[in-house]
Amino acid sequence: SSIRSWLNSTFINSAFSTEEREMIPSILVINDDHPTYGTNGGNNTTDRIFLLSIEEANNYSLSDSARAVKATAYAVSQGVYVNSENGNSWWWLRSSGISSYYAASVNTDGHIIANGISVNDNISGVRPALWIDFSNLESTNP
């Protein structure tokens, strides 16, 4: 997808220094079919930066309040929607929605919208995920 391409090129190169990028490993990203609708999740990929799946969003953020997020100033300047009541924004997940024209997302209350929103939506935010490999760091502690 265009988000995946942007995350692993423009975003990673502008958001992280060379030293930081060296600590971000490529990992196998599993793209399971939708857990309720069975919509095809697509091919598994190998990426350094990725979006969370429905399952990962549930596992890593155990409550709606933990998933509710405020957009950065940069995201707002790019047109991300901000809810006037709570100041939070929607954000994309990588899981498919009810059809291939929809992708799962998280709303401004932090609730996972499993049936998804149109992939043509241009006001939802992106909340990148990554793993960090500390094994190559030289220890500064004796």
Reported as a single tens digit per residue, the pLDDT across 37-89 is 999 999 999 999 999 999 999 999 999 999 999 999 999 999 999 999 999 99
For the cut 90, the answer to whether the pLDDT of residue 141 exceeds it is no
Decide: 110 and 63 in contact? Cβ < 8 Å: yes
Q: What's the pLDDT tens digit per position in 6-42?
A: 999 999 999 999 999 999 999 999 999 999 999 999 9
- Amino acid 42 reads G
Decide: 9 and 49 in contact? Cβ < 8 Å: no
- C-alpha to C-alpha distances, 71 to 42, 87, 124, 129, nearest whole angstrom: 28, 8, 10, 15
